[in-house]
Amino acid sequence: MASAPSGLDKDQIFGMAEQEMEYRVELFNKLTKTCFEKCIEKRYKESELNMGECSCVDRCVAKYWQVTSIVGQLLGSSRPPM
Protein backbone atom coordinates (compact mmCIF):
# COMPACT_ATOMS: atom_id res chain seq x y z
CA MET A 1 0.00 0.00 0.00
CA ALA A 2 1.44 3.39 -1.00
CA SER A 3 1.77 6.12 1.59
CA ALA A 4 0.23 9.56 1.16
CA PRO A 5 2.58 12.09 -0.46
CA SER A 6 4.12 14.81 1.74
CA GLY A 7 2.39 13.58 4.88
CA LEU A 8 -1.13 14.26 3.64
CA ASP A 9 -3.81 12.22 5.31
CA LYS A 10 -6.64 10.40 3.58
CA ASP A 11 -9.19 13.19 4.23
CA GLN A 12 -6.90 15.82 2.69
CA ILE A 13 -6.35 13.68 -0.40
CA PHE A 14 -10.10 13.12 -0.81
CA GLY A 15 -10.69 16.84 -0.31
CA MET A 16 -8.17 17.69 -3.01
CA ALA A 17 -9.70 15.14 -5.37
CA GLU A 18 -13.15 16.58 -4.70
CA GLN A 19 -11.92 20.11 -5.46
CA GLU A 20 -10.32 18.89 -8.68
CA MET A 21 -13.57 17.20 -9.73
CA GLU A 22 -15.57 20.36 -8.97
CA TYR A 23 -13.09 22.41 -11.02
CA ARG A 24 -13.36 20.04 -13.98
CA VAL A 25 -17.17 20.02 -13.87
CA GLU A 26 -17.20 23.83 -13.74
CA LEU A 27 -14.74 24.03 -16.63
CA PHE A 28 -16.86 21.62 -18.70
CA ASN A 29 -20.04 23.56 -17.94
CA LYS A 30 -18.42 26.88 -18.92
CA LEU A 31 -17.05 25.37 -22.13
CA THR A 32 -20.45 23.90 -23.03
CA LYS A 33 -22.29 27.15 -22.33
CA THR A 34 -19.78 29.32 -24.18
CA CYS A 35 -19.61 27.17 -27.31
CA PHE A 36 -23.36 26.53 -27.37
CA GLU A 37 -24.14 30.25 -27.19
CA LYS A 38 -21.57 31.04 -29.86
CA CYS A 39 -22.25 28.24 -32.34
CA ILE A 40 -25.82 26.98 -32.11
CA GLU A 41 -28.71 28.91 -33.61
CA LYS A 42 -31.35 29.97 -31.10
CA ARG A 43 -34.18 28.65 -33.26
CA TYR A 44 -33.63 24.97 -33.92
CA LYS A 45 -34.37 24.05 -37.51
CA GLU A 46 -33.09 20.47 -37.46
CA SER A 47 -32.63 17.74 -34.88
CA GLU A 48 -28.95 17.36 -35.83
CA LEU A 49 -26.14 19.91 -35.91
CA ASN A 50 -25.46 21.22 -39.38
CA MET A 51 -21.95 21.32 -40.90
CA GLY A 52 -21.35 24.95 -39.90
CA GLU A 53 -22.41 24.35 -36.31
CA CYS A 54 -20.20 21.25 -36.06
CA SER A 55 -17.17 23.16 -37.39
CA CYS A 56 -17.85 26.06 -35.05
CA VAL A 57 -18.14 23.77 -32.02
CA ASP A 58 -14.91 21.96 -32.99
CA ARG A 59 -13.00 25.24 -33.28
CA CYS A 60 -14.56 26.68 -30.14
CA VAL A 61 -13.68 23.65 -28.00
CA ALA A 62 -10.14 23.49 -29.39
CA LYS A 63 -9.54 27.17 -28.67
CA TYR A 64 -11.08 26.93 -25.21
CA TRP A 65 -8.77 24.03 -24.25
CA GLN A 66 -5.76 25.78 -25.78
CA VAL A 67 -6.40 28.97 -23.80
CA THR A 68 -7.10 27.00 -20.61
CA SER A 69 -3.80 25.18 -21.06
CA ILE A 70 -1.85 28.40 -21.66
CA VAL A 71 -3.40 30.09 -18.62
CA GLY A 72 -2.65 27.03 -16.49
CA GLN A 73 0.98 27.01 -17.64
CA LEU A 74 1.36 30.72 -16.94
CA LEU A 75 -0.19 30.41 -13.48
CA GLY A 76 1.98 27.37 -12.73
CA SER A 77 5.22 28.95 -13.88
CA SER A 78 4.84 32.20 -11.86
CA ARG A 79 6.18 34.25 -14.74
CA PRO A 80 4.43 37.38 -15.99
CA PRO A 81 2.17 37.03 -19.06
CA MET A 82 3.61 37.91 -22.44
**pLDDT, tens digit, for every residue of 11-70?**
888 898 999 999 999 999 999 999 999 999 888 888 899 999 999 999 999 999 999 999
Phi, psi of 38 (to 5 degrees): -80, -35
Name the residue among 35, 28, 25, 26 with its Cα closest to residue 59: 35
Alpha carbon of 5 to those of 14, 21, 50: distances in Å? 13, 19, 49
Compute the distance between CA of residue 6 and CA of residue 1 in angstroms, rounded to an integer. Answer: 15
What local confidence, expressed as pLDDT, does residue 54 receive? 96
Q: What is the pTM of this model?
A: 0.68
Match domain 7-39+48-74 to its CATH number in 3.40.50.2000, 1.10.1060.10, 1.10.287.810, 3.40.50.300.
Answer: 1.10.287.810
